[in-house]
């Protein structure tokens, strides 16, 4: 069972997947391994990556564990959502806005729509965000909340979060002042563990590759956790080993080694 992060792992930060990475993933898939995407991206931004690799059966994890898909070409859309973890975003949003008043906020609701403030848009959403007032966001049911600020550093985000506490949710701070929030206890690792049990795969027979802070739990969960070469120190510390960077096709190097 092989879990692959997308941004910074399968694709670079311009969204480009190299031929070497694509071919290595396809080869491992053809060899019969359970290859699955595990990403912070939302469903519609994940599907093109699944298609590019050619995974038409199996499972995928989106929204940092908030949404799990079953892939099957016989299904109408080629997939179905088998699990969705929702939460009340109100308490976290109120606390964050008091501490980070200039930040931009976006929220994926239970129907897959994105609601946002200040025309906040990102490729990881997969759909055009709908501009709403903050009160509307407070009243929504969320699968994923994203907070971004060009005026703050990741360190300042961490300080704000420590000051607030953010009880009742799971969160991770990204490369920039970017914060992803999910339901309490929900991570890529929690979703992957459910799939591991569903598939009957032994824990020792799991591999995960990732580069971001939202991959820390996944890398610790895997029997073999591999951090990308450009990963921050805390991500490397959670992994069993480090491969080359995304610009040197580090994921391809690991995948070819499994054959």
More confident site: 178 or 38: 38
Classify strands 2-4 and 35-37 as parallel, antiparallel or unpaired. parallel
Tell me the two tokens of residue 108.
């994926």
Classify strands 104-109 and 142-148 as parallel, antiparallel or unpaired. antiparallel
CATH number for 131: 3.30.1240.10
Task: Tell me what the pLDDT averaged over the chain comes to.
Answer: 93
pLDDT at 177: 80
From residue 103, how far is each of 120, 155, 242 by CA, in Å? 10, 15, 33
Same domain, 65 and 96: no
Same domain, 159 and 208: no
pLDDT at 75: 96
Same domain, 103 and 176: yes
Domain that holds residue 74: 2-84+186-257
Same domain, 80 and 191: yes
Q: Which of 144, 141, 149, 134 is nearest to 44 (CA)?
A: 144
Domain boundary among 166, 183, 200: 183
Same domain, 139 and 196: no
Residues 6+ apart with CB under 8 A from 102: 149, 151, 152
pTM, entire model: 0.93
Q: What are the DSSP calls for 175-238, one per residue? A: SSSEEEEEETT--HHHHHHHHHHHHT--GGG-EEEE-SGGGHHHHHHSSEEEE-TT--HHHHHH
Q: CA-to-CA distance for 12 and 246, rounded, in angstroms?
A: 6
pLDDT at 38: 98
DSSP E strands in the chain: the ranges are 2-4, 35-37, 58-62, 67-71, 79-84, 104-109, 114-116, 130-131, 142-148, 169-173, 178-183, 207-210, 224-227, 241-242
Same domain, 161 and 202: no
Same domain, 80 and 6: yes
- Average pLDDT of 87-94? 93
- HSE-CB for 232 with a 13 A CA cutoff: 11
Report yes or no: 91 and 69 within 8 Å, Cβ to Cβ. no
Q: CA-to-CA distance for 188 and 221, rounded, in angstroms?
A: 9
Domain count across the chain: 2
Domain boundary among 183, 204, 239: 183
Q: Which of 116, 88, 89 is nearest to 103 (CA)?
A: 116
Same domain, 165 and 224: no
Domain boundary among 155, 183, 211: 183
Same domain, 175 and 193: no
For the stretch 104-154, pLDDT in tens is 999 999 998 999 987 788 888 888 889 999 999 999 999 999 998 888 777
pLDDT at 224: 98
pLDDT at 6: 97
Class of residue 151 by CB neighbours under 10 A (exposed 0-12, middle 13-18, buried 19+): exposed
Q: CA-to-CA distance for 5 and 8, rounded, in angstroms?
A: 8
- Model confidence band, residue 236 (pLDDT cutoffs 50, 70, 90): very high
Same domain, 241 and 195: yes
Q: Give strand pairing partners of 225.
A: 208
CATH number for 17: 3.40.50.1000
């Amino acid at each position: 069972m092989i879990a692959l992060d997308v941004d910074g792992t399968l694709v670079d930060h311009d969204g480009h997947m190299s031929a070497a990475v694509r071919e290595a993933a396809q080869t491992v898939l053809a060899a019969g391994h359970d290859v699955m995407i595990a990403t912070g991206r939302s469903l519609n931004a994940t599907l093109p990556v699944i298609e590019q690799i050619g995974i038409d059966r199996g499972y995928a994890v989106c929204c940092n564990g908030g949404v799990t898909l079953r892939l099957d070409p016989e299904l109408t859309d080629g997939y179905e959502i088998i699990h969705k973890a929702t939460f009340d975003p109100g308490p976290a949003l109120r606390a964050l806005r008091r501490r980070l008043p200039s930040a931009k906020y976006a929220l994926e609701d239970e129907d897959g729509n994105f609601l946002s403030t200040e025309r906040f848009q990102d490729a990881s959403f997969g759909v055009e965000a709908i501009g709403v007032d903050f009160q509307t966001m407070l009243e929504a049911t969320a699968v994923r909340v994203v907070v971004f600020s060009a005026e703050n550093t990741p360190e300042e985000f961490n300080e704000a979060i420590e000051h607030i506490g953010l009880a009742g949710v799971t969160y991770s701070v990204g490369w920039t002042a970017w914060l992803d929030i999910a339901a309490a206890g929900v991570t890529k690792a929690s979703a992957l563990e459910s799939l591991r049990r569903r598939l009957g795969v032994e824990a020792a027979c799991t591999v995960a590759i990732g580069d971001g802070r939202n991959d820390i739990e996944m890398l610790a969960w895997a029997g073999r956790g591999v951090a990308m070469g450009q990963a921050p120190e805390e991500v490397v510390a959670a992994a069993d080993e480090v491969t080359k960077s995304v610009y040197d096709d580090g994921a391809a190097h690991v995948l070819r080694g499994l054959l």
